[in-house]
Each structure stands twice: as structure tokens, then as C-alpha cells.
Amino acid sequence: MRITSSIEYATRLMTALARAHGGEPVAAERLAESDNVPADYVSQILLKLRRAGLVESRRGSAGGYALSRPPERITLSEVVRAVDGDVFEDVCEKYDSGEKNCRHQDACSISPVWRGLGEAVTRYLESVTLASILDGSAGSCGAAPRWLEAMNAAAGRKK
Amino acid sequence: MRITSSIEYATRLMTALARAHGGEPVAAERLAESDNVPADYVSQILLKLRRAGLVESRRGSAGGYALSRPPERITLSEVVRAVDGDVFEDVCEKYDSGEKNCRHQDACSISPVWRGLGEAVTRYLESVTLASILDGSAGSCGAAPRWLEAMNAAAGRKK
DNA sequence: CCATTCCCGACGGTTTTAGTCAAGAATGGC
DNA sequence: GCCATTCTTGACTAAAACCGTCGGGAATGG
């Protein structure tokens, strides 16, 4: 259970783009410098972000990348999913084999736990927007009330 | 971001031991069979669990493993930490290099986010006990109110 | 003394991660 | 049309992590 470099870098890049939002597109190389991300690696990550529809690109001399939506409307959840796939997916299928599969034994009562964990993580990541990272309100400090709000809402709509 | 096999297996083993709690110690090989975990791998995982103080072992003919505490008093958080170390640790140190380190740039506003995520995960895992897995109350279904309770408590004691 | 069972370090194969590289295609300026 | 700039994309490699396997040893109980 760890934050991969792709996730960390993608978050940095998106944060930098959020800061530049509204202005000219930013070239990949410039992002690499300012965010301290290996130059040739940047393109790969940005490619995933573009395919996920989070950024738009323009080629040519004045080209570069820009957010495809305002920073308030992009959550960390989307960023993470773009570069790393769904969180905590496919636990059950992976470690069961033979006839005694997940449905027939103890693991049965375990899988909902992982699902619950995945939901908790997703919910947290959804509560963090690029804008909230920029203005420093994201994270443990001021975010606690925000969570409770989100969780109450989630509980309310009886997900 | 995924559940490793060690985590999954450790959880299964602990659940099985929880079920056997109060009776005789269970041999590793028996656990391997009933939980569908590779035989030689079991010992390794149990070793970590023992070093973490979660299980106790006895050698010899009637030997085996047993929980060192009742199932209500062992949380998944402890199990996960025993086999996988702390969750989401050391993000900052890993991907920063050179002078422009974490404290001097954007990453600064990012690291509290990862810390918050780690706390959210830990809080969830702490809310799941072996007992709650056994009686099926753990997981997404009936757990939502339980979370809110835990989170309110956490917010209350101003962690 | 012997069978059983835990103890524990070391080893190897596979998969994932992290990063590099190079050829190509679009864009804008001249 | 030509050129510099910048994105596009797949292939490639090195290192790390993961997932076990193996074998010798040390308790324990009979």
C-alpha cells in the first residue's frame, strides 16, 4: 500500500497546471523542470491524463498542456485513477484458486472489507480538488469537517 | 494501490484463528489448507504476525498458533501493519531530490493530502476487528454508521 | 530418541515500477 | 515550402517489489 511515483508526479503536474489555468498552455519540459519530475517521464504521464480527459494538449511552437476543466472541478480521485487504474480492485479474483473460491469460504466475509476500504479511499480522494490543494485547504489540517460532511452525505444517499 | 497477497493471506489466517479462539493452537499446515494459502508461505506470514505480538506460538507435537488477544481486540490495522509496514509512509522522501525539495515547492501542499489519506485508511482499518469480520458486520453494508461514529470520535479528540 | 512443529535466513522467478529512447506527426513562424 | 518546436507513441531496460520455495535448525512432547 503505497503512493507510486506516477501518482505523486501526476498530482504535481496537475497542481502546476491548475496554477497556470487560464493562461497559455505549458510545455511538458517546463513542467518537468518546475516540478522536479524526470523529463522523459512527464510525457508518459501526461498522455494518460489526456486519455482520461483531464488535460488537453496542443502541438507546435506555442503548444503545451492545459487543464480541460477548472481546478475546482477536478478531483484527486480522477487523477489517481487516470494513472493507476481503479483503487483496490480485483482482490478476490487474484488470490483464490481451485474450487474453494471466495464465495465458499472465509474470504467471503473479508471481501466486503476491502470493498469498504476502497470506497473510503475513493471518497477521500473525491473530496480533494486541485483547487483545494492550491489554496492549502486539502489534507489533514482543515479537512476533517469536510470529510464528515462528505460521509454524512454519502450515508444519507444510502449508497 | 492494491491489497497485496500478504495482506489478504494474513487477514484470512487471523480470521481462521479468531474462529478457533479459545480452543487448541492450530498448526500452520492446517491453516494453509483451510484458507487456501500456499503452505510454505504461511509460516512466513505467521512469523511476522507473531513478531508484531498478534499471535502466540507453541512448538512440538501439539503446537501451533493462537491469537494473543480476543478477536474483539485485534483490528485489521494491526494486521496490515504487521505484514506490510505503515500505510502510505515516506512519500515525500522518496520522490524528491536536489535542492528544490518538498518543503520548497508545490509538493508542500500535496504531502498533507497523502498524510490525510493514510489517516483515513488507518481509521477505517481500525474500525474493523476480527470479531466484526467473523460476524459479518464488517464492510460496506452495515459499517457506515460505525465509521461515522469512529470519525466523530476522532474529530472529537482533536487528533 | 523420534516425530512433530515452529524458526528463520537465503534464494529465485515473475511481475510491476520507473525511467529512457527514438521515430514520427502536428503546428506555427519565416 | 522549410524549419524549429512540441506533442505522440510504442519499445526497451534496469531495478525493485512481490510471491513464494527450500533447507537446516531448534524446541517440545511422547
Q: Report chain A's terminal Cα–Cα distance, integer Å.
A: 25
**Cβ(A151)–Cβ(B151) under 8 Å?**
yes
Q: What is the pLDDT of residues A91-147, one digit of tens each?
A: 666 666 444 445 445 557 888 899 899 999 999 999 999 999 998 887 654 444 444
Report the candidate in B130, B128, B126, B127 with the shortest Cα–Cα distance to residue B16: B130
The CA–C1' separation of A116 and D12, in angstroms, is 39
Contact A11 B110 (CB under 8 A): yes
> How many CB atoms neighbour CB A73 within 10 A?
12
Residue B159 lies in a domain: no
Residue B130 lies in a domain: no
Cα distance between residue B18 and residue B34, in whole Å: 13
**Cβ(B78)–Cβ(B30) under 8 Å?**
no
Cα distance between residue A32 and residue A130, in whole Å: 18
> How many CB atoms neighbour CB B119 within 10 A?
20
Residue A62: give its domain's CATH number: 1.10.10.10
Range of the domain at B35: 1-85
Residue A90 lies in a domain: no
Residue A93 lies in a domain: no
* Total of domains in chain A: 1
B47: nearest nucleotide, CA–C1' criterion: C7
The CA–C1' separation of B41 and D15, in angstroms, is 25
**CB proximity under 8 Å: B 7-46 to A:** 7-9, 11-12, 15-16, 19, 34-36
Whether B113 CB is under 7 Å from strand D: no
Cα distance between residue B7 and residue B4, in whole Å: 5
Three cell numbers, residue A71? 481546478
| B27: DSSP letter | -
Q: What residue type is B121 in one-letter code?
A: V
Ramachandran region of residue B67, left (φ > 0), alpha (ψ -120 to 50) or beta? beta
Whether B27 CB is under 7 Å from strand C: yes
Q: What is the mean pLDDT of residues A149-159?
A: 43
Residue B5 lies in a domain: yes
Nearest CB to B109; choose among A97, A134, A151: A134
Residue A80 lies in a domain: yes
Q: What is the pLDDT of residues B56-89, one digit of tens each?
A: 999 999 999 999 999 999 999 999 999 998 888 7
Residue B33 lies in a domain: yes
The CA–C1' separation of B83 and D17, in angstroms, is 14
B4: nearest nucleotide, CA–C1' criterion: D18
B139 pLDDT above the threshold of 70: no
Report the candidate in B87, B90, B76, B97 with the shortest Cα–Cα distance to residue B120: B87
Residue A71 lies in a domain: yes
